[in-house]
């Protein structure tokens, strides 16, 4: 008999797994909830980009408002899953009485899923990766008169592949030390590849689960302990992460186009036309019945709401569109979860719940493609992304001299009475204490110069990626004022 409680056991619980009651578990997850909601990482999401960097219109989504919407959808899917399972199934999977526990873990996983993202969204992520790939060899410090420090291919790969999902795990465990339950952290472990690993074979067993970096070498031991404690095979997912991923997919595919209408990039009537056209194209691409009017009916119903006299026509349109799309998408995610529950429980289900070329998949893909073609390619969005790219690259250029120092010289910079360059000392003083403490804690345990340089790179990636859009912009202007 499958024991689902092993997947929801608490790292902080003092009792054995067998002795944990639903009350014990709920208290542990309520503690997680408090730690998460009160964390600085969540607060910073209010000034991080969803689609439009440095946006002044508060009606347009930030990472925080997006995450709150994902949280609600995740909760809704959990409720539908419990409604779909009968009494025998709930007992067989040891889920009976755990609905509130699972709701809480899913909600907080949804709230946390973007905390590792750098300023300026995915373009910021690419900027960090490009900068380290282009500068890595040139910034390797000298360990002798002419000999440069040697870094293994595995650690080089890890450093040069910054990934928001992996940074979230690092932020929660190594930087903020939130001491969350293993179950809660596993809920945001969306991908299961370590940064030191190569990309998997596209036809391999875990090709989807490992298509992106899920955690860094710096958190490898922690993730291995997490997997062992939760009885999960390394490379597999926690069941909660499938629900979190589906909730994110459902939320952002509608939100992005709503923000575009809010900013007058698209108007409602043109949006309806392109949605219907794209829907037919996706249906054909998925070899589905092109006469399937499921989504077209949802669009037309929303358009009718828009055309009715009212004070908030655009709002009425999107309420109708969102509700109309949410229910079939959440229903399909539930159906896929329940019908594949054995593989999902094992964490080996190598697909997203909403990516199966079904009618529901066609709806979400239609929304995503319209956003890609009409929102992400908008001149304002592209201009802001380029601005963000230059800001992050410029900040890393500024701090590059500290990365290029050998270990003794870097330690010398930290001494206020040393003869180190004044500019290096001033730059060092800008690094946050919590990041320096994380660096110091691990350096005390790793004595090699290779390890020190690896964690120094992590130190600067932690600092830059933790900035909000506005803070990064202000820091860039302050440091580049002499240019």
How high is the pLDDT of residue 11?
57
How high is the pLDDT of residue 158?
98
CA 438 to the chain's CA centroid: 21
Whether residue 483 is predicted with pLDDT greater than 50 in this model: the reply is no
8 A C-beta contact, residue 275 and residue 389: no
Q: Which of 75, 113, 161, 173 is catalytic?
A: 113
Mean pLDDT of the chain: 90
Q: What is the pLDDT of residues 96-136, one digit of tens each?
A: 889 999 999 999 999 999 999 999 988 899 999 999 999 99
How high is the pLDDT of residue 204?
84
How high is the pLDDT of residue 385?
86
Q: Which residue has the higher pLDDT, 446 or 449?
A: 449
pLDDT-derived band at 4 (thresholds 50, 70, 90) equals low
- State mean pLDDT over 387-395: 94
Whether 446 sits among the annotated catalytic residues: the reply is no
pTM over 0.85: yes
CA dihedral sign of residues 310, 315, 319, 321: positive
8 A C-beta contact, residue 426 and residue 401: no
pLDDT-derived band at 69 (thresholds 50, 70, 90) equals very high
Whether residue 2 is predicted with pLDDT greater than 80 in this model: the reply is no
Q: Which of 114, 249, 256, 469 is catalytic?
A: 114
Closest CA to 306 of 295, 319, 325: 319
Percentage of the chain with pLDDT > 70?
93
Whether residue 93 is predicted with pLDDT greater than 90 in this model: the reply is no
- State mean pLDDT over 133-155: 91
- State mean pLDDT over 323-328: 95
Whether 483 sits among the annotated catalytic residues: the reply is no
Whether 327 sits among the annotated catalytic residues: the reply is no
How high is the pLDDT of residue 52?
67
Question: In this structure, what are the phi and psi dihedrals at residue 49, rounded to the nearest 5 degrees?
Answer: -70, 140
Whether 113 sits among the annotated catalytic residues: the reply is yes
How high is the pLDDT of residue 143?
84
pLDDT-derived band at 310 (thresholds 50, 70, 90) equals confident
Whether residue 307 is predicted with pLDDT greater than 80 in this model: the reply is yes
Cα-based angle 109, 103, 232 (whole degrees, multiple of 5): 60
Here the tokens at position 249 are 């997919």
Closest CA to 286 of 367, 357, 214: 357
Q: What is the pLDDT of residues 178-198, one digit of tens each?
A: 999 999 999 999 999 999 999
How high is the pLDDT of residue 1?
39
Whether 248 sits among the annotated catalytic residues: the reply is yes
Residues sharing a CB contact under 8 Å with residue 403, sequence separation 6 or more, in sequence order: 139, 141, 456, 457, 460
Q: Which of 12, 43, 426, 437 is catalytic?
A: 426
8 A C-beta contact, residue 74 and residue 240: no
pLDDT-derived band at 15 (thresholds 50, 70, 90) equals very low
Q: What is the pLDDT of residues 226-260, one digit of tens each?
A: 999 999 988 999 999 999 999 999 998 888 898 88
Beta-bridge mates of residue 148:
142
Distance in angstroms (rounded) separating the CA atoms of residues 466 and 140: 24
Closest CA to 127 of 336, 386, 334: 386
Residues sharing a CB contact under 8 Å with residue 416, sequence separation 6 or more, in sequence order: 425
8 A C-beta contact, residue 373 and residue 260: no
How high is the pLDDT of residue 68?
95
How high is the pLDDT of residue 5?
66
Distance in angstroms (rounded) separating the CA atoms of residues 321 and 318: 5
Q: Which of 248, 259, 462, 469 is catalytic?
A: 248
Whether residue 285 is predicted with pLDDT greater than 50 in this model: the reply is yes
Q: Which of 61, 66, 173, 237 is catalytic?
A: 66
pLDDT-derived band at 348 (thresholds 50, 70, 90) equals very high
How high is the pLDDT of residue 357?
95
pLDDT-derived band at 291 (thresholds 50, 70, 90) equals confident
């Amino acid at each position: 008999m499958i024991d689902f409680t092993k997947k929801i056991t608490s790292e902080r619980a003092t009792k054995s797994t067998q002795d944990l009651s639903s009350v014990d578990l709920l208290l542990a997850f309520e503690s997680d909830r408090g730690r998460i909601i009160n964390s600085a990482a969540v607060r910073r999401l209010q000034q991080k980009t969803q689609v439009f960097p440095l946006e002044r219109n508060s009606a347009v989504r930030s990472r925080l408002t997006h995450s709150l919407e994902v949280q609600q959808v995740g909760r809704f899917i959990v409720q539908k899953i419990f409604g779909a399972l009968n009494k025998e199934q709930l007992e067989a999977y040891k889920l009976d009485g755990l609905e509130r526990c699972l709701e809480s873990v899913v909600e907080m996983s949804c709230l946390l899923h973007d905390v590792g993202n750098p300023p300026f969204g995915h373009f910021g992520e690419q900027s960090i990766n490009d900068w380290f790939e282009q500068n890595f060899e040139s910034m390797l410090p000298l360990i002798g008169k002419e000999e440069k420090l040697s870094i293994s291919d595995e650690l080089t790969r890890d450093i040069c592949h910054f990934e928001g999902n992996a940074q979230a795990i690092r932020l929660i465990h190594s930087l903020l030390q939130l001491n969350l339950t293993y179950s809660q952290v596993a809920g945001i472990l969306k991908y299961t590849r370590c940064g030191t690993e190569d990309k998997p074979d596209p036809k391999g067993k875990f090709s989807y689960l490992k298509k992106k970096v899920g955690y860094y070498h710096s958190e490898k031991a922690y993730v291995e302990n997490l997997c062992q404690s939760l009885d999960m095979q390394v490379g597999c997912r926690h069941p909660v992460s499938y629900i979190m991923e589906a909730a994110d997919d459902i939320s952002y595919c509608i939100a992005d186009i709503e923000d575009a209408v809010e900013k007058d990039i698209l108007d409602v009537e043109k949006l309806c036309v392109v949605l219907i056209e794209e829907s037919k194209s996706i249906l054909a691409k998925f070899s589905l019945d092109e006469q399937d009017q499921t989504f077209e009916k949802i669009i037309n119903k929303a358009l009718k709401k828009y055309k009715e006299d009212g004070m908030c026509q655009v709002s009425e349109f999107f309420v109708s569109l969102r509700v109309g799309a949410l229910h079939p998408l959440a229903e399909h995610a539930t159906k896929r979860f329940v019908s594949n529950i054995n593989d999902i429980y094992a964490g080996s289900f190598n697909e997203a719940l909403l990516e199966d070329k079904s009618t529901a998949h066609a709806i979400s893909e239609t929304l995503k493609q319209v956003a890609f073609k009409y929102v992400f390619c908008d001149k304002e969005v592209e201009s802001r992304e380029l601005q963000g790219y230059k800001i992050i690259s410029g900040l890393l250029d500024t701090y590059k001299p500290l990365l290029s120092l050998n270990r003794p010289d870097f330690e010398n910079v930290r001494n206020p009475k040393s003869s180190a360059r004044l500019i290096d000392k001033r730059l060092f003083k800008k690094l946050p204490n919590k990041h320096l403490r994380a660096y110091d804690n691990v350096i005390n345990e790793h004595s090699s110069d290779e390890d020190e340089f690896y964690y120094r790179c992590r130190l600067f990636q932690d600092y830059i990626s933790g900035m909000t859009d506005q803070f990064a912009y202000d820091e860039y202007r302050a440091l580049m004022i002499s240019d």
